[in-house]
Amino acid sequence: MWTWFYKLASPPHVYALAGTLAPWFLGLAALTIGYGVIDGLAFAPPDYQQGDAFRIIYVHAPAAWMSTFVYTIMAVAGAIALIWRIKMGHIVAAACAPIGTSFTVLALVTGSLWGKPMWGTYWAWDPRLTSELILLFLYFGTMSLRGGFEDAAQGDRAAALLAVVGVVNVPIIHYSVVWWNSLHQGATVAKLGKPAMDPSMLWPLLSNLLGFMLFFGAVLCIRLRGEILNRERQATWVRRVVSL
């Protein structure tokens, strides 16, 4: 029963698995993001305060959510790799970092574009914005630490440790709007039971959130394959796969 689980630690198995999963993730992501974007941009009613400008939430909120989600996955993968010495963990962490960086940049850029009409400025030194920026620097730190060592295995472990240390930032980002009197609006979706949003606005957002996660899954699968091939290039199974 546990064999499928143990197999996740084996690069050739994950290489094949990622190959089968990637098109599914990509297809489902296209469906959900497609629905979310069309319904969110064209059919959802405009906000009573923010008008049509609120529609950027359909990109901004999922991207911001993914930036911390990917970081958490990266840190958990790093912790697994450090504790049980599973090299797949390092491979997952290495594949996550650039994707997470992209989501963070996307969240920051869309956020500042949203900030201009709403707050009158592209950037405010506000807790949520600042902690998101710290997250971006942490991503940069782990990536350059991984590349900084001559011994790749050492770089992997160092980057994993930094990712684990940086996890303290994730709850800070999440609760920054609650703890500090912030310019950034409070949570609208995460109130279980009774969201502060009308269903007609909420469904496209949730669909986009799911779509972003599926898209992350797809890109992760593709990056994992590349990362595995690069790291295992001395192995005979890679030669067999590549020479096909």
Partner 1 sequence: MSVGAWEAFWLIVRRELRISFRRPAELLQPLMFFLIVTTLFPLGLNLQLALLRDMAPGVLWVAALLSSLLSLDALFKSDADDGTLEQLALCGQPLSVIVTAKTFAHWLVTGVALVLVAPLVAMALNIPGFAFATMMLSLGMGTLTLSWLGAIGAGLTVGLRRGNVLLSLIVLPLAIPLLIFGAAATDRAIAQIDATGALYFLAALCVLTCTLAPFAAGAALRITLE
Binding site for partner 1 (CB under 8 A): 82, 130, 134, 137-138, 140-141, 144-145, 148-149, 154, 157-158, 161-162, 164-166, 172
- The distance of closest approach from Cβ of residue 87 to partner 1 in the complex, given in angstroms and rounded to an integer, is 15
Residue number, 111 or 204, with CB nearest to partner 1: 111
Cα Rg of the chain (Å, integer): 20
DSSP annotation of 184 reads S
Minimal distance, residue 220 CB to partner 1, in Å: 24
* Crossing angle (nearest 10°) for helices 127-148 and 169-179: 170
For partner 1, give the closer residue by CB, 35 or 149.
Answer: 149
Nearer to partner 1, 119 or 149 (CB): 149
Q: Given 3-state DSSP classes, what are the helix, strand and coil percentages for the chain, each rounded to the nearest 5? A: 80, 0, 20
Q: Give min distance, CB of 208 to partner 1, in A.
A: 29
Least Å from the CB of residue 194 to partner 1: 32
Cβ nearer to partner 1, comparing 160 with 224: 160
**224: nearest Cα among 7, 11, 3:** 11
- How many whole angstroms separate alpha carbon 70 and alpha carbon 74? 6
